[in-house]
A and B are shown apart, each in its own frame.
Chain A
Amino acid sequence: EAGVTQFPSHSVIEKGQTVTLRCDPISGHDNLYWYRRVMGKEIKFLLHFVKESKQDESGMPNNRFLAERTGGTYSTLKVQPAELEDSGVYFCASSQVVNTEAFFGQGTRLTVV
Chain B
Amino acid sequence: KQEVTQIPAALSVPEGENLVLNCSFTDSAIYNLQWFRQDPGKGLTSLLLIQSSQREQTSGRLNASLDKSSGRSTLYIAASQPGDSATYLCAVRGGRNAGNMLTFGGGTRLMVKP
Chain A contact residues, CB within 8 Å of chain B: 4, 6, 33, 35, 42-45, 48, 55-56, 58-59, 91, 93, 98-107
State whether A99 and B46 are in contact (beta carbons under 8 Å apart), knowing that A33-B101, A59-B101 are contacts in the complex: no
Interface centre among A4, A102, A106 (most CB of B within 10 A): A102
Number of interface residues of B (CB under 8 A): 24
Q: Is the interface of B mostly helix, strand, loop or mixed?
A: strand
Tally of contacts, chain A with chain B, CB under 8 A: 59
Asked if B104 is at the interface (CB within 8 A of a chain A CB), the reply is yes
Residues 83 to 98 of chain B near chain A (Cβ within 8 Å): 89, 91, 93-94
Interface contact B46-A101, CB-CB below 8 Å? yes
Interface contact B100-A91, CB-CB below 8 Å? no
Closest-CB distance, A106 to chain B (whole angstroms): 4
